[in-house]
Amino acid sequence: MQQNKLFTRTRWQLVVWYAAVMGCILGLLGFGMYQAIIHAHWRTLDRELEIVAGTLHDSIEKTLIQPGRLEQTTKQLLPQMPQLEKRHILGAIHRDDYYIRFLDRSGRVIALFGSQPNGLPLTSGESTWQTLVDSKGNRYHQISLSLHTQDNRPWGYMQMGRSLKDVDDYLTNVKLVLLVGLPIAMAMVAVSSWWLAGLAMRPIYRSYRQVQQFTADAAHELRTPLAALGATVESALRSPDLSQAEAYDILHTLNRQNQRLTTLVADLLLLSRMERRPLPARHQLCCLNDIISDLVEELTSLALDAGVKLTSDIQVKSLLRVFGDEEQLYRLFTNLIVNAIQYTPSGGRVTVILERNGHYALIRVRDTGIGIAPEQQQRVFDRFYRVSSDRSRASGGSGLGLAIAMAIVQAHDGSLEVQSELGKGSTFSVRLPLETTSLPDS
């Protein structure tokens, strides 16, 4: 329960951090996009005003004769502004949005044309670009151009402006989309973050459970010999007058439990070392024919004591060699053969088969033992897992043999699989890549 709360809290923390980071990123992107849209609209608007005002300015200057006075020909030209507007901006700007002001050099209004906004302040013509606000709060963008007479005398200023209502309405809609879209995007990010955090934490949670299970199993395995040692020592302390035979039996029991502890600790250290750093499995040429023959000969006495017949079946005439650690390969096949002997009843048979399968050597350890149920076949390679706990404990097994075998096979770039049927026996198959000179001629 406690670890579930821990992982749930960690998952929520990951969600919050991920959502916060994504929120900052999306917020910056939204702000940048909004600023880019504003900049693009202002550039377009400036260009439109420059084109329309510049065309009208050039046409008007040709008609000006007296500074501060509009000629009749100039007034006749101004009503054509909508046609100029259409021709130069292709209808993108409505003519009702425009207004024109003519000012003399002192800033006095000479004439007004177009749609004049109410309450729009009068400004000097010295500043080229201005943004003004009328009495209703509507914004206008204005350009001021100086005018000269035909003989190049200063005449005054022409100011042309247009309403920003369509631009402001568009930017308001964009802002609304961003303000509404960002929370929706954040909600989607939060949901996806929860799902992704769950996926990311699955292997961590699985590893945590494995470590937890391993710690519990190791403590259980260590408790049995330690309890036996404690009971034996306590019994000896309560009997001060021990005979030599009784003292020998006690020491023999202590030695047996000590050996069991030593083997268990050595196996645990080996597995821990292989997890931290793979075995140096590429520094020696090993002959599998010799390894299998030697082990069958060495373990025959163990098999006879268990009432099991141990034989080898080498189905290749040539020598099969692999690169690896010979000591660890001996341990690999020793674990598999001893495991097969332990789980085979008296009168059964264990056969070690060596053959070649393409570029791989195939070693199969086949027994006629108790077999393994289908749901247990993948778990037999877990640490401390036993198919038959009573039988393994009676033989002194710690449940680490197959886990060590799997680690050694993986360190040699091979594979280890099991096929079994209850009551009929099991076959453990090891595939190891062959050294090139062991391959058949092509």
The helix or strand, by DSSP H or E, that contains position 55, with its residue range, turns out to be helix 2-61
Does residue 99 lie in a domain region?
Answer: yes
C-alpha 229/C-alpha 251 separation (Å) is 10
Does residue 227 lie in a domain region?
Answer: no
pLDDT per residue over 391-418, tens digit each? Answer: 444 444 556 778 888 888 888 889 999 8
- Closest among 217, 317, 289, 225 to 262, alpha carbons compared: 225
Rounded average pLDDT over 258-265: 76
Does residue 269 lie in a domain region?
Answer: no
Hey, which of 64-78, 80-94, 130-144 has the most confident mean pLDDT? 130-144
C-alpha 330/C-alpha 334 separation (Å) is 6
Name the strands in the sheet holding 349-357, side by side, starting at the edge strand that comes first in the sequence: 309-314, 349-357, 360-367, 425-433, 415-421
pLDDT per residue over 212-231, tens digit each? Answer: 766 766 676 677 677 777 88
- 309 and 163 part of one domain: no
Rounded average pLDDT over 109-123: 86
Does residue 235 lie in a domain region?
Answer: no
Q: What pLDDT, on the 0 to 100 scale, is given for residue 428?
A: 92
Which of 173, 190, 216 is the last residue before a domain boundary? 173
> What is the bridge-based pairing of β-strands 309-314 and 349-357?
parallel
Which of 116, 148, 173 is the last residue before a domain boundary? 173
Rounded average pLDDT over 145-160: 91
Of 225 and 112, which is predicted with more confidence?
112
CATH number, position 412: 3.30.565.10
Does residue 198 lie in a domain region?
Answer: no
pLDDT > 90: what percent of the chain?
A: 24
- 166 and 285 part of one domain: no
The helix or strand, by DSSP H or E, that contains position 428, with its residue range, turns out to be strand 425-433
Which of 148, 173, 198 is the last residue before a domain boundary? 173
Does residue 219 lie in a domain region?
Answer: no
- 152 and 286 part of one domain: no
Contact criterion met (CB below 8 Å) for 155 and 68: yes
Does residue 284 lie in a domain region?
Answer: yes
C-alpha 381/C-alpha 385 separation (Å) is 7
C-alpha 113/C-alpha 82 separation (Å) is 11
Q: What pLDDT, on the 0 to 100 scale, is given for residue 93?
A: 38
Q: What pLDDT, on the 0 to 100 scale, is given for residue 399?
A: 66
- 294 and 165 part of one domain: no
Q: What pLDDT, on the 0 to 100 scale, is given for residue 199?
A: 86
For 300, the token pair is: 């025959």
Does residue 290 lie in a domain region?
Answer: yes
- 304 and 424 part of one domain: yes
pLDDT mean across residues, the chain: 81
Q: What pLDDT, on the 0 to 100 scale, is given for residue 143?
A: 93
Residue 340 domain boundaries: 280-433
Question: CA-based angle 340:346:347, to the nearest 5?
Answer: 100
- 146 and 286 part of one domain: no
Rounded average pLDDT over 47-74: 86
pLDDT band of residue 390 (cuts 50, 70, 90) is very low
CATH number, position 94: 3.30.450
Q: What pLDDT, on the 0 to 100 scale, is given for residue 362?
A: 94
Q: How many domains does the chain have?
A: 2
DSSP-based three-state secondary structure for 361:
strand
* Residue 68 scores a pLDDT above 60: yes
Query: What residues does 366 pair with on adjacent strands?
Result: 351, 427
* Residue 328 scores a pLDDT above 60: yes
Hey, which of 94-108, 297-311, 377-391 has the most confident mean pLDDT? 297-311
